A = this chain, B = another copy of it.
Amino acid sequence: MSDLDFQFEICQNKINPECLAEKLRSDKSLGGIVVFEGRVRNQSEGKKVLKLEYEAYKALAIQEGVKILDEARAKHPEIKSLICVHAEGELEPGELAVFVGAASAHRDEAFLGCRYVIEAVKHRLPIWKKETFETGEAHWVNCSEHHGAACN
């Protein structure tokens, strides 16, 4: 997107939440910042999780991600800065899978915008995760009978 304060990315490296939060803090007219961090849980379905592998259909995911940010901005025009970064590749428990941050003059729109983006990201982005348990078992989340949800 042309506006520097609106950023959607699929990231193959580690996501640095502090670096992203600093961007949200840079405009001193924005008093309310809300950040969501979705991290890989160390357990799912009562079993210990070894790792998650995220696979993205990148061209479509970026297009859809930008569309989600546009929608959030249209619904909550007070939001002046909105960042979403989703990880790709292999992640271990505790690692950051998705970052969503919103900044606006007041808190209400920052909360609503952040929530809108994460819900849409989870339901619409063409990204998949394969969950591997410590037992060696592995499955694609939401694609098999047992629905895993190792991450938030």
A→B interface (CB under 8 Å): 17-18, 21, 25, 28-43, 93-94, 105-107, 110-111, 114-115, 118, 149-152
Q: Which residues of B contact A37 (CB under 8 A)?
A: 21, 25, 32-35
- Are B111 and A32 in contact, with the CB atoms below 8 A? no
A35 CA / B28 CA spacing, docked (Å) = 18
Q: Which residues of B contact A93 (CB under 8 A)?
A: 28
Query: Given A39-B25, A107-B118, A152-B107, are A34 and B31 also a contact pair (CB < 8 Å)?
Result: no
Q: What residue of chain B has the Cβ atom nearest to residue A119's Cβ?
A: B107
Q: Which residues of B contact A94 (CB under 8 A)?
A: 25, 28
Q: Which of B21, B29, B39, B151 contacts A43 (CB 8 A)?
A: B29
A50 CA / B33 CA spacing, docked (Å) = 21
- Are B39 and A36 in contact, with the CB atoms below 8 A? no
The distance from the CB of A27 to the nearest CB of chain B, in whole angstroms, is 9
Give 15 new A-B contacts, CB below 8 A, not counting A30-B39, A34-B34, A106-B149.
A25-B37, A28-B41, A29-B41, A29-B43, A30-B41, A31-B38, A31-B41, A31-B152, A32-B39, A33-B36, A35-B35, A36-B111, A41-B105, A107-B152, A111-B111
Q: What residue of chain B has the Cβ atom nearest to residue A41's Cβ?
A: B31
Q: Which residues of B contact A21 (CB under 8 A)?
A: 17-18, 37
Those 10 A-B pairs whose CB atoms lie nearest each other, nearest first: A31-B152, A32-B152, A28-B42, A31-B41, A28-B94, A33-B37, A35-B35, A28-B93, A107-B152, A31-B151
